[in-house]
Amino acid sequence: MAQPLESTGRAVRYLRSPYSAVLRVSRQRYSAVEYTVLRLYSAGLMAFLRQTGCELAAILVRRWPVLLLLACSGIVGATWHWGLRVNTSRSVPRGLYRMQDVAPTRGALVAVCLRPEIARFGRARGYLGPGDCPDGIQAVIKQVIALPGDTVEVTPAEIRVNGDPLPRSATFAEDSAGRPLPHVAWGRHRVAPVQVWLLGPGDPRSWDSRYFGPLSLAHIRATMAPVVTLD
């Protein structure tokens, strides 16, 4: 506690009030009675604040898992409300994307719910996680490489679309765990009027149309526009 620097009669001068942070006063004159009342009031207030702060800290320590869950739930709810999705797969640049209700074009990134039998295979292999597509399986984000009317040629070394080879598009016989990996038939494929071919350009081992073939346009949930990417 600060000590008085000067005393004249009943008036006491304090260079710095011990509770100036609370009362926002300093270097003021108080009578002995006024100062005694002020000190008792301030001491009680500071004790109350200290006790309240300790109790609040204890509650936060005890409840931090719940608070963390609430914070995460709020973030997830906000992202869904604004049509935002987080991509952690290396098939396309990782980051935050916004869903857009526009027709897909060649080269666009799209979010797709795979056909049930394909999705179940990917879930069993560990390629896909849980999500909000049918059977509770996550959607995938891939790049559209071929549209209706295009010609796709699949070889072990690469994929060609309308005669143009795509980089990093070799088809692997096994996945990264060494398990046999089914793929589409070798040769040329004409894209049907309601189908698209997809590729994950960010990862040569992306699980995409090289293995499960073309998908219906009806399986596309949205076109994905990058907001912030890390790769």
pLDDT for the residue numbered 231: 76
Let me know whether 122 and 218 are in one domain: yes
| 133 domain residue, yes or no | yes
Domain that holds residue 72: 6-79
Q: Are residues 34 and 109 in the same domain?
A: no
Asked if 154 and 58 sit in the same domain, the reply is no
Residues 60 and 122 in one domain: no
Boundary (domain end) residue, out of 45, 79, 113: 79
Task: Tell me if 138 is assigned to some domain.
Answer: yes
Residue ending a domain, choose from 79, 110, 130: 79
CATH of residue 107:
2.10.109.10
- Domain end residue (candidates: 31, 53, 79): 79
Please check whether residues 63 and 119 belong to one and the same domain.
no
Question: Are 142 and 69 in a shared domain?
Answer: no
Residues 45 and 148 in one domain: no
Same domain as 72, residue 16:
yes
Same domain, 41 and 96: no
pLDDT tens for the 231 residues of the chain, in order: 444 444 444 444 444 444 444 444 444 555 666 666 666 656 665 665 566 666 666 655 665 566 566 666 666 665 655 678 888 899 999 999 999 999 999 999 999 999 999 999 999 999 999 998 988 999 999 999 999 999 999 999 999 999 999 999 999 999 999 999 999 999 999 999 999 999 999 999 999 999 999 999 999 999 999 999 987
Looking at the structure, do residues 121 and 187 belong to the same domain, yes or no? yes
Predicted local distance difference test score (pLDDT) of residue 83: 79
Is the same domain home to 47 and 94?
Answer: no
Together in a domain, 97 and 152:
yes
- What pLDDT, on a 0 to 100 scale, did the predictor assign at position 3? 43
Provide the domain count of the chain. 2
3-state secondary structure the chain: CCCCCEEECCEEECCCCCCHHHHCCCCCEEEHHHHHHHHHHHHHHHHHHHHHHHHHHHHHHHHHHHHHHHHHHHHHHHHHHCCEEEECCCCCCCEEEEEECCCCCCCCEEEECCCHHHHHHHHHHCCCCEEEEHHHECCEEEEEEECCCCEEEECCCCEEECCEECCCCCCCCECCCCCECCCCCCEEEECCCCEEEEECCCCCCCCCHHHHCCEEHHHEEEEEEEEEECC
Is there a domain that residue 1 lies in?
A: no
